[in-house]
Copies of this chain bind each other. A is one copy, B any other.
Amino acid sequence: MKNLLVAQSGGPTAAINATLCGVIEEGIANNKIQKVYGAKHGILGILSDELIELNEQFTNLESLQLLCQTPSAALGSCRKKLENWLENEAEYDKILAVFQKYNIGCFIYIGGNDSMDTVYKLSEYCKVKNISDIQIMGAPKTIDNDLCETDHCPGFGSAAKYIATTFSEISCDCDVYAVPAVTIVEVMGRDAGWLTATSGLARINGNTAPDLIYLCEKPFSTERFLKDVKNKLKVKSAVVVAVSEGVSDENGNYIADSLQNSCEDAFGHKILAGAGGYLEEVVRQEIGCKVRSIELNLMQRCASHVASLTDINEAKLLGRATTKYAIEGGSGEMACIKRVSQNPYLTDVEFVAIDKIANKVKNVPLSWINEDGNDITKEMIEYLLPLIQGEVPGTYKEGVPLHFHFANL
């Protein structure tokens, strides 16, 4: 009987541990698997032979439940990308030796774009070398929602719920004074604007913010931005703007670079201002009203206390389905979510060859951005809305969320 190995990779999300939970559950429940191992810090932990046994840590349901509510990657993560095997075959041999040492029959790698590249390279290597007793599968996670072939990515819905909730509260906060003021909120996403788009969900219950939404899929014009803000200030005093960190001008240069390039700090360093900080300065100079910028920063990817129940459930289901599929012989593929029906919202899991996904980016369709390039369309709202439904009843102890930590990590 073979063992199962799971690892987590890339940037943390509020749902990657729910996928881990699904993998562990299936590994424990499936009678074709003896032991479930986890690698510390993704592929790095395999290379350094740092595997821990997981079965004994989940002898009760409470631990699994707690794991599902814990943000970030409980096994640790990494940003490691494998070289091509022709350039560094020793690394591939090292990985396969560890698989052999622990009698691993299935390896599940939970991650985003870069992690799917690892799944692709490892499964290709096994094919080339005619190694057929190890199944390698990818399970998606990324708050960026930019993986191809899947309707959406686990982790995105929870980040979206945090962003929608936060914008709805910022809306209340900014509406409070009678003086003109501009608040610019920078949302994660250098290459895809999905997360920034979710700010629009804050308006569905009657809050007014955000007033303007700029995604990185359309070239950004500072001139048009100023015109948009001035127009909004004519009809209301508090203007709230959502902007992707990756907005760029028509030549593809990040708008924040123009500020950074012209400003050095006390040490002679370039100041690392973001898009929000840049636009704050632009409004201060060109409009002159009260202005502030806000970065949602790490909180948008780790705010488990306001996770989407739909997201957490899907993430767990995907972990379980991926593991079952690998045990039954699937390899070199990633589990994808297929939206079967919009109303009622129904999904299915399907498996897609990893070369269709690795190193590719799914952008927001331009038709889901309005013509003026400063808002999203109704189609985008319809796509997003099901993903943030439901709240996770969090476990608090002494007034603070309780999180799961591996004993021997």
- Binary B-proximity of A158-201 (CB < 8 A = 1, otherwise 0): 00010011101110111111100001000000000000000001
* Chain A window 280-322, contacts with chain B (Cβ cutoff 8 Å), 1 for yes, 0 for no: 0100110000001011011101111110100000000000000
CA distance A399 to B170 in the complex (A): 17
**Which of A228-236, A264-272, A372-380 is the interface stretch?**
A264-272
Q: Which residues of B contact A165 (CB under 8 A)?
A: 305, 400-401
- Pick the contact of A169: B77, B284, B302 (CB < 8 A): B302
Q: Report A273 CB to chain B, min CB distance, Å.
A: 8
Q: Given that A269-B284, A401-B165 are known contacts, is A170 also in contact with B206, CB under 8 Å in the complex?
A: no
Q: Which of A188-231 contact B (CB under 8 A)?
A: 201-202, 204-207
A403 contacts B302, CB within 8 Å?
Answer: no
Q: Is the CB of B269 within 8 A of A265?
A: no
Partner of A390, one of B72, B301, B399: B399
Cα(A304)–Cα(B165), bound, Å: 9
Interface window among A255-263, A324-332, A355-363: A255-263
> Hey, which chain B residues are within 8 Å of A394, CB to CB?
391
Would A298 and B399 count as touching, CB distance under 8 A?
no
- In contact, A169 and B399 (Cβ under 8 angstroms): no
Question: Chain B residues with Cβ under 8 A from A201's Cβ?
Answer: 398-400
The interface residues of chain B lying within 8 Å CB-to-CB of A266 are: 258-259, 262-263, 281
In the complex with contacts A201-B400, A205-B398, A399-B390, A76-B177 CB distance below 8 A: yes
Measured in the bound complex, the distance between the Cα atoms of B176 and A72 in whole Å is 7
Q: CA of A201 to CA of B173 in the docked complex: distance in angstroms?
A: 25
User: Of B177, B267, B388, B396, which is within 8 A of A285 by CB?
Assistant: B267
Do A302 and B177 touch across chains, with their CB atoms under 8 A apart?
no
Chain B nearest CB, measured from A18 CB (Å): 14
A243 shortest CB reach to chain B, Å? 15
Range class of the A interface residue count: 35 or more
Give the one of A169, A259, A388 with max B CB within 10 A.
A169
Q: Tell me, yes or no, whether A41 is within 8 Å of chain B by CB.
A: yes
A153 CB within 8 Å of chain B: no
Is A397 on the interface with B (CB-CB < 8 A)? yes
Are the CB atoms of A285 and B305 closer together than 8 Å?
A: no
Is A70's CB within 8 Å of the partner chain B? yes
Name the contact of A262 in the complex, choosing from B205, B265, B298 (C-beta under 8 A): B265
Contacts A168-B400, A170-B298, A177-B79 known; A306 to B308 CB distance under 8 Å? no
The yes or no answer to A140 lying at the interface (CB within 8 A) is: no
Q: A177 to B173, alpha carbons, bound, how many Å?
A: 35
Say yes or no: B294 contacts A164, CB within 8 Å: no
Nearest Cβ in chain B — how far from A163, in angstroms?
Answer: 10
Cross-chain contact B401 with A205 (CB below 8 angstroms)? yes
A77 and chain B: residue at smallest CB distance: B176
- Kindly provide the distance from the CB of A237 to the nearest chain B CB, expressed in whole angstroms: 10
Whether the Cβ atoms of B164 and A399 lie closer than 8 Å is yes
- A81 in the interface (beta carbon within 8 A): no
- Asked if A169 and B400 sit within 8 Å, CB to CB, the answer is no
Q: Are B263 and A264 in contact (CB under 8 A)?
A: yes
Shortest Cβ distance from A304 into B: residue? B169
Q: Which among B41, B173, B259, B304 is the interface contact of A72 at CB below 8 angstroms?
A: B173
- A169/B294 in contact, CB under 8 A: no
Show 12 residue pairs from A and B whose CB-CB distance is below 8 angstroms, ordered by the A residue: A70-B172, A72-B169, A72-B176, A78-B178, A161-B400, A164-B399, A170-B302, A172-B302, A204-B397, A206-B405, A258-B266, A265-B271
The 5 closest A-B pairs by CB, nearest first: A388-B399, A72-B172, A173-B302, A262-B266, A169-B302
